[in-house]
Amino acid sequence: MAYELVYTSAEKGLRPGTRGFCTVAHTRGMPPQYIQLLEALSAYKGLRSSIDNISEMQEPVAWSHLYSSILGRSTSIISRIGATHPDHTGRSNKLAHHVICQSKERAAAGPAWLCQQPDFLLDEWDEAPHLLETQKDIPQGNVTPAPAQSWAELTGDAGNAAILPDMFLSNPEGIVIILFLPGVELLPLIAESLALLPEYQRWKVTFNTYFSTLPAGSTCSWRCCLPDSDAYRDTKRNPKAKILDLTGAELKTPTGVLAEYARTGHLPEKKIVVPVQKNTGGTITVNSDNRNINMLTLKPRKRF
């Protein structure tokens, strides 16, 4: 069971005297510092003001999994922020829905899978402001191994799904800027990449499919940005940030275990040769989990 909060433009907010962009619902008993944090995470800048021919349906959606120093690493923030129907004044509007998830509530499939679950995160709100009397249920489940179809459709090679997890495994604290163009759905790509990681590592990855700003003390590793956005210009100044360009640039063909997994949907057996005791002249070959011994060969020691 988890806390949740809904933030949008309304004629009247949940707290007395609030209106315009404000909180319209949250779980009863939610600590005030949690409310303040989630409101600060509700920023969203649509494209319709800058791109004339874009429709509401084409507006990017910011699906995210973040950490905050206020909540600690044992608590995740799962969010959906995007354009919604006009507010009571007829002006453009946004809807932010946040869920705070404790470590014991995390689905084995990972945070991107959780974002994909039907009706878990709201995309519209037409109710009067009110307190939510019960905490939110967190769906549970795991992913079924399969080829990375979304990566194959976008880039021509399902193996490209391994680029992000390979970057994470080489530097878990690193920042990756994922450049994309309007109309590209990022959440399926993130979900397929996270599915390549072991279950215990999926929740270590933070991401935002339409990154704009990040409040102090918050963590976001995979930041999806438009090429001409302020978020991209600001983030690329970080000398430790790496860039993955999905706007049409040629990608280096990935190799290795995860790339093969992404292409076939099957985790290949990785042979690892481990030396045995000195002077035996033998080897032990084990599979990729380093537990099961597949073969043991021993050569007789020479006698002098």
With tokens 């179809």, the residue in question is 149
pLDDT above 90: residue 287: no
Q: 296 pLDDT band (50/70/90 cuts)?
A: very low
Mean of per-residue pLDDT scores for the chain:
87
* pLDDT value for 194: 98
| Closest CA relative to residue 59, chosen from 186, 236, 144, 196 | 186
Task: Dump pLDDT digits (tens) for 114-152.
Answer: 999 999 999 999 999 999 999 999 999 999 999 999 999
Q: 299 pLDDT band (50/70/90 cuts)?
A: very low
* pLDDT value for 272: 40
Share above pLDDT 90 across residues of the chain, in percent, rounded to a whole number:
72
Who wins on pLDDT, 288 or 156?
156
* pLDDT value for 298: 35
pLDDT above 70: residue 50: no
pLDDT above 80: residue 294: no
Report the alpha-carbon distance of residue 38 to residue 103 in Å, rounded. Answer: 18
Task: Dump pLDDT digits (tens) for 221-271.
Answer: 999 999 999 999 998 888 889 999 999 888 998 999 999 999 999 987 654
Share above pLDDT 70 across residues of the chain, in percent, rounded to a whole number:
85
Question: Domain residues of the chain, as ranges?
Answer: 3-264, 270-304
pLDDT above 70: residue 157: yes
φ, ψ dihedrals at 240, nearest 5°? -90, -5
Who wins on pLDDT, 283 or 270?
270
* pLDDT value for 286: 38
Which tokens is 71 given? 């909540």
Q: No. of H helices and E strands in the chain?
A: 8, 14
Report the alpha-carbon distance of residue 155 to residue 161 in Å, rounded. Answer: 10
DSSP strand pairing (207-208 vs 222-225): parallel
* pLDDT value for 42: 96
DSSP strand pairing (222-225 vs 293-297): unpaired
**For residue 82, how many other CB atoms are within 10 A of its CB?**
22
Q: What are the helix (H) ranges across 21-66?
A: 32-40
Task: Dump pLDDT digits (tens) for 185-214.
Answer: 999 999 999 999 999 999 999 999 999 999
pLDDT above 90: residue 1: no
**For residue 12, how many other CB atoms are within 10 A of its CB?**
15
Which stretch of DSSP H or E encloses residue 164? helix 163-170
